[in-house]
Amino acid sequence: MTTTTRTAAVTGAVGAAHVRVEGYDKVTGAARYAGDIPFADLAHGWLALSTVARGRVLAVESDAVLAMPGVLAVLHHGNAPRVDGEYMSMLGPPDPALQVFQHDRVPYVGWPVALVVAETSEQAREAAEALVVRYEEEPHDVAFSAGRPGMYTPEDSPDMVAEKGDVEAGLAASAFVVDEEYTTPEEHHSSMEPHAATARWDGGRLEVVDSNQGSMWVADELAKLFSLDAASVRVRSEHVGGAFGSKGVRPHHVAAAMAATTLDRPVRVVLTRRQMFTVTGYRSPTAQRVRLGADPDGRLRAFDHQADCLTSTVKEFVELSAAYGRVMYEADAHRTVHRVVPLDVPTPTWMRAPGEAPGSFAVESALDELAEKCGVDPIALRVRNEPAVGPVSRLPFSSRNVIACFDEGARRFGWAGRDPRPGRRREGRWLLGTGTAAATYPSGVAPSTAAVTAEADGTYTVRITAADVGTGARTALTLIAADALEVPPERVRVRIADSDFGPAWVAGGSMGTRSWAWAVTTAAGALREQLALGGDIPAEGITARSDTTEAVARLTQKERHSFGAQFAEVAVDVSTGEVRVRRMLGVFAAGKIVNPLTARSQFIGGMIWGLSMALHEEAVRDQATGGHVGADLAGYHFAANADVPLIEADWVDDPDVDDPVGIKGIGEIGIVGAAAAVANAVWHATGVRHRHLPIRPDRVLSAGAPAEGDGDA
Ligand code: MOS
């Protein structure tokens, strides 16, 4: 037994760069991912996915594959365990996309119709690919376009419509009007690590080891699906190679749990890259009409944004693209509306900056078009339309430092003296241009619980059901706990991603670190009070727990958001249509930055997504089959190293005064506005507006000859 000693001089871990605490394990391969963790007596499941876009399963011809080497079982709608489809989950109503093998209906190409289980992964795959499934096919419809038949505005959600004043009157009275349609294609998360889950029964408990962004969330869903009490499910997810919204509960979890039940053995289901395209969600394509009406000086009279997206016939999921303007721009009349159409496609889901990523492309492009029409500098135009309070809600902002971001960004990027006319800078075969855009993303917090233990050896152990999906959350929590305990980070061990640690928010909505930090700080404070009483620490340590439910509920209503300013410089080869981004700069006001090293990575990662969204990413659907063309990382092109130039991210001081650590959340804002900054730079280079992403070479070429530049560079 030892008495703890604390050194007051060592506080200040938060805000100082710290390498990832699990970095050594990751680079040496000691860190194991879900698909690599060994289990005794493990069997392997392989999903068979539907090959038709709409219809019914007539027959799953299992007999032939059951005779193949190593095959143990074929689960399908005729023989799989039943699940409960009526529960309310932690994150909302039950997900019908998890009701696999419960009925014979096929809602899209890629719907799971069977799970083949075998002794080895290779045997399971060979049998699943040999499995003959007969269908009764029905005509399908996968054609998405703005305002197409079947489009509706959901009535049961307050997020769908926000309105103030008379938009039509405002537009009619405006000196300048922008009225354009912008589109973004179907986009995929494409996390480096594919999804994997192993399920087994252990002493009456369902144990799952997987790759997720919230172990409590997965445990909660599985408990409800299989009618188990919460204490009978344990989910762990130690290391996760990217998630971005795609790593909630997915059909492979359900299939693995069913097979483990049927066979009474551990069963692992791993998805292939190709399967991820239909099994794990994606971002809906969008078609967005933005109408801006302004006075001669650029002050907005009317702001109108109508955002259309698709969903599946299984579940309604709406990409909230029009929410962006409700935060960003003041206008006398303001209207933002969402519409959705159910088609014979997989269900879309959250994907990094859901809503704000496509929404900011449309709005920030339209602002640039308005700046051109009014003859006002794009940054000055944004400053002129800064709201003092929420443009629609009239609530105060917790803090709003977007102008500070533009000031700092403009200075560092060299915006001053920019010739506003397009097509004026030429360098050999390249036309050069620069563009800018604003960014915002909500700053939220959700109730969480944590435990902090003072160990007898003078170290501390933090336990919280957090997820580190590659963000550096484990390291951030180590620094936060160290400061709260007033000890060096080396004396703090943070254990995460085990649902047995108790309820905590997920790595989602840019709310993970903020929600977990609040719980860890609270528990650490309670522990210090206990330790202040003095005395020795027993062998089992002294543990204090926290639950932030009440503290979070006491937060007053405010507009709480992070903000940013994005800048890009591009070069456009007008003979090939190639667009090269030369440099990008993002300056953010996103709360207290806990670990500058990993925060910078997150911002830059988001900005690279924006570059990729602007120029490369597009999942193409074949209207004839209803399935994807080239559902792999060769066919689905995203930015690779050679596409990524000098990218800088930095931030201004912007602590959240209502948060114990000052955190706002940084996971998603990096992508917001980035695609618009690139598109606006392409216009500045060429004089041609590109309102449809991605800005492919063929689109640049077919847009016609650019304005002839002076060639003065
Ligand atoms: Mo994020 S799309 O909230 O994982």
Q: Is 75 helix (H, G, I), strand (E, B) or coil?
A: strand
CA of 354 from ligand 1 middle (Å) equals 7
Burial of 129 (0-12, 13-18, 19+ CB in 10 A): exposed
Query: Which has the closest alpha carbon to 336: 353, 357, 321, 351?
Result: 321
Q: If you average pLDDT over every residue of the chain, what do you get? A: 95
Phi, psi of 205 (to 5 degrees): -110, 140
Band (93; pLDDT cuts 50, 70, 90): confident
User: Is the confidence at residue 662, as pLDDT, over 50?
Assistant: yes
Per-residue pLDDT of 466-494, as tens digits, reads: 999 999 999 999 999 999 999 999 999 99
pLDDT attached to residue 3: 40
Pocket test for ligand 1, best of 91, 283, 352, 562 (most atoms within 8 A of CB): 352
Per-residue pLDDT of 442-465, as tens digits, reads: 999 999 999 999 999 999 999 999
CA of 542 from ligand 1 middle (Å) equals 35
Domain 396-443+555-713 CATH class label: alpha beta
Mean local confidence (pLDDT), 573-596: 97
Q: Is 551 helix (H, G, I), strand (E, B) or coil?
A: helix
pLDDT attached to residue 711: 39
Pocket test for ligand 1, best of 246, 668, 671, 672 (most atoms within 8 A of CB): 668
CA of 605 from ligand 1 middle (Å) equals 14
Mean local confidence (pLDDT), 17-27: 97
CA of 46 from ligand 1 middle (Å) equals 27
Report which ligand 1 atom has the smallest distance to the Cα of 509. 3
Fold of 43-139+190-279: Aldehyde Oxidoreductase; domain 4 (3.30.365)
Report the percentage of the chain scoring pLDDT > 70.
Answer: 97
**Alpha-carbon distance 419 to 684, whole Å?**
9
- Report the DSSP pairing between strands 449-454 and 430-442: unpaired
CA of 511 from ligand 1 middle (Å) equals 9
> Are 617 and 695 spatial neighbours (Cβ–Cβ below 8 Å)?
no
**Alpha-carbon distance 189 to 708, whole Å?**
39
CA of 200 from ligand 1 middle (Å) equals 28
Does residue 358 have a cis bond before it (omega within 30 degrees)? no
pLDDT attached to residue 94: 76
Report which ligand 1 atom has the smallest distance to the Cα of 508. 3
Query: Which has the closest alpha carbon to 316: 337, 338, 289?
Result: 338
Per-position b or e across 181-207, b if 16+ CB within 10 A of its CB: ebbbbbbbbbbebbbbbbbbeeeeebb
User: Is the confidence at residue 705, as pLDDT, over 60?
Assistant: no
CA 242 to chain centre: 10
Which residues of the chain form CATH 3.30.365.10? 23-31+446-552, 43-139+190-279, 396-443+555-713
Per-residue pLDDT of 270-299, as tens digits, reads: 999 999 999 999 999 999 999 999 999 999
Burial of 573 (0-12, 13-18, 19+ CB in 10 A): middle
Residues near ligand 1 (Cβ within 6 A):
213, 243-245, 350-352, 354, 508-509
Report which ligand 1 atom has the smallest distance to the Cα of 243. 4
Band (712; pLDDT cuts 50, 70, 90): very low
Mean local confidence (pLDDT), 56-66: 98
Band (2; pLDDT cuts 50, 70, 90): very low
Report which ligand 1 atom has the smallest distance to the Cα of 352. 2
pLDDT attached to residue 6: 41
Report which ligand 1 atom has the smallest distance to the Cα of 350. 2
Largest CA distance in the chain: 81
Mean local confidence (pLDDT), 16-22: 97
Per-residue pLDDT of 360-370, as tens digits, reads: 999 999 999 99
Per-residue pLDDT of 300-330, as tens digits, reads: 999 999 999 999 999 999 999 999 999 999 9
CA of 266 from ligand 1 middle (Å) equals 30
Catalytic residue numbers, as ranges: 668
Report which ligand 1 atom has the smallest distance to the Cα of 353. 2
Pocket test for ligand 1, best of 187, 190, 350 (most atoms within 8 A of CB): 350
Report the percentage of the chain scoring pLDDT > 90.
Answer: 94
Per-residue pLDDT of 343-363, as tens digits, reads: 999 999 999 999 999 999 999
CA of 625 from ligand 1 middle (Å) equals 30
Lowest mean pLDDT of 82-91, 233-242, 702-711, name the range: 702-711
Tokens at 147, concatenated: 């305002």
Fold of 23-31+446-552: Aldehyde Oxidoreductase; domain 4 (3.30.365)
Ligand 1 atom 4: the closest Cα is on which residue?
245
pLDDT attached to residue 706: 53
CA of 245 from ligand 1 middle (Å) equals 4
Q: In what order do the strands lie in the sheet with 542-547?
A: 492-495, 460-463, 449-454, 542-547
Mean local confidence (pLDDT), 205-229: 96
Report which ligand 1 atom has the smallest distance to the Cα of 247. 4
